[in-house]
Chain A
Amino acid sequence: MRDTLGSGMQAASCQLMTAEAESRALSRLRATIAWQTLRSMLSEARLRVALVVLLSAVFWGLLYGLFFEAFSFLESIHAEVISLLFNAFFSSLMIMLVFSTGILLYGNMYCSDEARRLLTLPVRAEAIYAHTFVEAMWFSSWGFILLGSPMLIAYGIVRGAPWTYYLLLLPFMVSFALIPASLGGMLCMAAVVWLGRLRVQALAMLLVVMVAGAGWLGWSLLGSAVTAGGTAAWFDTVITRLSIAEQKFLPSWWLSSGLIEAARWREEPEARFASLVESVAFLAVLVSNGMLLHLLARRLAGSSYRQGISQLVGEVPIRRQRRISWFDEALSATGTVRGRPLRLLLVKDLRLFRRDISQWSQFAIFFGLLGLYFWNLRSFNYNLAYASMISFLNLAVAGLIFSTFTTRFVYPMISLEGRRFWILGLLPVHRDQIVWSKFLFSFVGGVVPSCGLLWLSDSMLGLPPGLVFVHQLCGLVLCMGLSGIAVGLGAWMPDLREPSPAKIAAGFGGTLCLVLSSLFIVSVVAIAAFPTYLAMASEAFGGGGPSPTGIFGWASGPLGTATSLLIVGVLGAIATIVPLQLGLRAFRRFEP
């Protein structure tokens, strides 16, 4: 449509674009930026790229092996449980994707410079929404691809799925992700336009309700074990309760049903074809619903985006009188004069943490849920072997949760300081102290809740003091190593151009941090658990016979435990010192 009003100088040379032309131009923009980013990464940081790809492949392989074993086990015992697990997994994932895409879209649409620039161009609001949506969906779903692909490929191999199953995997995953992502987009726009300032409180309430719901579900599942005593009856109860996720109107059910159908191997060609058709029908349901929701979200953007950003830009920040916390005052005042700059940096980070709702709420929710789960462990009556196995799994879970926090919030800290380097760079503070303050912040902030939760877990499981000591030591080493990896890598490869910590964490360095952290946790837990595992195995297979001799006897005894703890300590020291050294060296040479 050519605009003829206004009789301007430019009327002959430009015109309003069609929706398709706008979409093409924005797609070209994304493709050019992606290509330029890839090109500069390959030319400037080949080693880094190779390392990340290699470690991601190792991580992927480990996950694949884990899922393969799990599916083989389930296939041999309870094949029907797989559908239930798929439903529970995908429905939880769906809720997470709604929130993560909504939050990312909020940043992309309402807070980014790019969106504000695009809004001053003659572009439809729907096109800007679609442009920002692609990026948000990618950032929120890459974890699903990384975790989901080894799981689903392992499932296909265990089930002996036909080749069509693998062909359908990606369309299934993308069309599924489109549904919660579009819902998240609509929720985000609706919250901005209709809730105004109340959106933060509404989000907080929703999170509280969800946490309470998860808590209730956990309690009702595990609480029943008290009466059933972890027997087959209890297992049946758990299955019944989990079937809440198996609702036919949920996209997670369409996805799991479609995948299970696609993976079904049948001898007769007709039956095979029927399964394929059934699977494609589920895919069609996912695609059509995803596209419908995306279309509705675009419509909503067309009618509300400009109004929403106008409201948001016009919001006056609430002025709050902040009092100095007694803790901050005590921390900055006590100790030596020499250590004061470091303490002041710590106080600053602590204040930023307290005032950033996304940081402390994630911290509180994750560790809160973990605490709830550990508290519920008392409902079971375990034998020692089983309890010690669960305790090591709990150790791994606590580590993994802390690693998500270090990757998401601690890793970007140096990058964000780099953007404000004119403040810190001009202070009479040695640069090393800045890095050390981040490390201390992360380590102390992590070790208190982690070791506290591990102690709770061990108490609920009724473990002997020796094993409690092993777990406390491992918790300490994990927090030290994870903090070292996040702070060291953050200082080694800072991203000074990106203002969003979420995007810094989702970049190459963040991925490397997550992968290394996961490998570190798996190694520490495996090494620490090895002597216990040997002791359990000898008990199970020795059956009252003589104790194991030779290397196995030695390894399952106190000396073996001591050696494993020594190796864990060395591993922790390497994970702490090497990245920190790399980071400190890079940060000393850092030129903003």
Chain B
Amino acid sequence: MIEFDCVTRTYGPKPAVTDLSLSIPRGQLFALLGPNGAGKTTTIKMLVGLLRPSRGTVRICGHDLVKETRAAHLHTGYVPDEPTLYDKLTGREFLWFIADMFGMPRSIATEKIGREINHFELANYADDLAESYSLGMKQRLVFAAALLHDPDVLVLDEPMVGLDPRSVRIVKDLLRSRTREGMTVFMSTHTLAMAEELADRVGIMVRGQLRFLGTVAELRDQVATGTTSLEDLYLELTTMPQAASSDTSPHEPNGTP
């Protein structure tokens, strides 16, 4: 579903992502972790077509993000780290706009808008202007819009920021059920507990390179030296000496990435 093939992106002379090769199959929830400046946002931006790789290709459902951008976007839902909405549109009008943009027939759009409004408990606010929404409500609406067309790939950039515990639970349940149905999720997060709880596989990025790729259990096996929490493991991995990071192949217990 998602393929990064030897992807490098530089900002001027400075590499932000170096030689990233990664394949995420259908129905998998992948969490990308890493300290600030590791290259997570660059990776996400390349995945949603806002940035073009300097080298290599990024594909979604077989579509090259540079050559077949629109076809790739048709299969993608995106929840950015900051929910950007039109202040002067109501929640329902915004969802209708997204349905229009994905060329959904009217009857299907009506049904799916109703479904997402129910899922995200937006019924009481759906006809209010978005300018009156709280950050959490905006984030829920953005989630509803991203899932409206039942995307094959959902890209999430720090998805739980601003959500209350109930909304977090709704999103978690939804992610679990959608991935069971075959949706692939690519999530960038700093919340280690959520990655541990939800992710089928995690990747840890440090200075533009994938330092680790595998399950949390594999991470424990490979890195832990008497520590048990993911936080300790993460900190240990991301503060490893520079020499270790120059090794371009990530720790990959199960062979190729």
Contacts and interface: CB of A to CB of B under 8 A. Distances in A.
Interface string A10-43: 1001111100011001001100110011001000
B104 A14 contact: yes
A16 B74 contact: yes
Contacts of A120: 48-50, 73, 76, 78
Contacts of A49: none
Interface in A69-85: none
Interface stretch (B95-103, B185-193, B213-221): B95-103
B62 interface: yes
A114 B80 CA distance: 12
B89 interface: yes
Nearest to A307: B52
Contacts of B6: none
Interface string B158-186: 00000000000000000000000111000
Given A6-B62, A40-B88, A13 B152 contact: no
Given A32-B89, A314-B11, A13 B48 contact: no
A119 B74 contact: no
Interface in A198-244: none
Contact of A32 (B78, B93, B108): B93
A309 B50 contact: yes
Contacts of A8: 61, 75, 150-152
A8 B93 CA distance: 26
Contacts of A22: 101
B49 A15 contact: no
Nearest to A311: B52
A14 B50 contact: no
Interface in B34-93: 45, 48-52, 60-63, 69-71, 73-76, 78, 80, 82, 84, 86-90, 93
A310 to B, nearest CB: 4
Nearest to A33: B88
B129 interface: yes
Contact of B84 (A14, A25, A36, A116): A116
A9 interface: yes
Interface residues of A, number: 41
Nearest to B184: A8
B101 A123 contact: yes
Contacts of A14: 74, 102-104, 149
A10 B84 contact: no
A117 interface: yes
B103 A314 contact: no
A478 to B, nearest CB: 36
B12 interface: yes
A3 B9 CA distance: 29
A139 B73 CA distance: 31
B112 interface: yes
Pick the most buried of B12, B74, B76, B88: most chain A CB atoms within 10 A of its CB: B74
Contacts of A36: 88-90, 129
A6 B84 contact: no
Contacts, number: 133
A306 B63 contact: no
B131 interface: yes
B76 A497 contact: no
B63 A5 contact: yes
Pick the most buried of B49, B50, B152, B182: most chain A CB atoms within 10 A of its CB: B50
A471 B135 CA distance: 53
Nearest to A9: B150
A310 B80 CA distance: 17
A123 B97 CA distance: 12
A188 to B, nearest CB: 19
A122 interface: yes
A313 interface: yes
B75 A316 contact: no
B33 to A, nearest CB: 22
Nearest to B147: A10
A33 B101 contact: no
Pick the most buried of B10, B11, B60, B100: most chain A CB atoms within 10 A of its CB: B100
A113 interface: yes
B100 A28 contact: yes
Contact of B45 (A3, A6, A313): A313
A117 B86 CA distance: 11
Interface string A299-327: 00000001101100111100000000000
A37 B88 contact: yes
Contacts of A17: 100-101, 103
Contacts of A114: 84, 86
Contact of A117 (B16, B62, B84, B182): B84
A121 interface: yes
Contacts of A10: 74-75, 102, 149-152
A7 B88 CA distance: 36
A378 interface: no
A314 B9 contact: yes
Contacts of A316: 11-12, 14
Contact of A33 (B63, B74, B86, B182): B86
A6 B88 CA distance: 35
A306 B69 contact: yes
A198 to B, nearest CB: 14
Given A10-B149, A122-B74, A16 B51 contact: no
A122 B78 CA distance: 12
A6 B63 contact: yes
Interface in A35-61: 36-37, 40
A13 B149 contact: yes
Given A13-B112, A28-B97, A306-B49, 20 more contacts: A6-B62, A6-B71, A7-B61, A9-B152, A10-B75, A10-B102, A13-B108, A14-B74, A16-B70, A17-B100, A29-B86, A29-B97, A114-B84, A116-B50, A120-B73, A122-B71, A122-B101, A124-B70, A314-B10, A497-B87
Interface of A: 3, 5-10, 13-17, 21-22, 25, 28-29, 32-33, 36-37, 40, 113-114, 116-117, 119-124, 306-307, 309-310, 313-316, 497
13 contacts: A6-B61, A9-B182, A10-B149, A13-B104, A14-B149, A15-B103, A17-B103, A116-B84, A121-B101, A122-B74, A123-B70, A307-B52, A316-B14
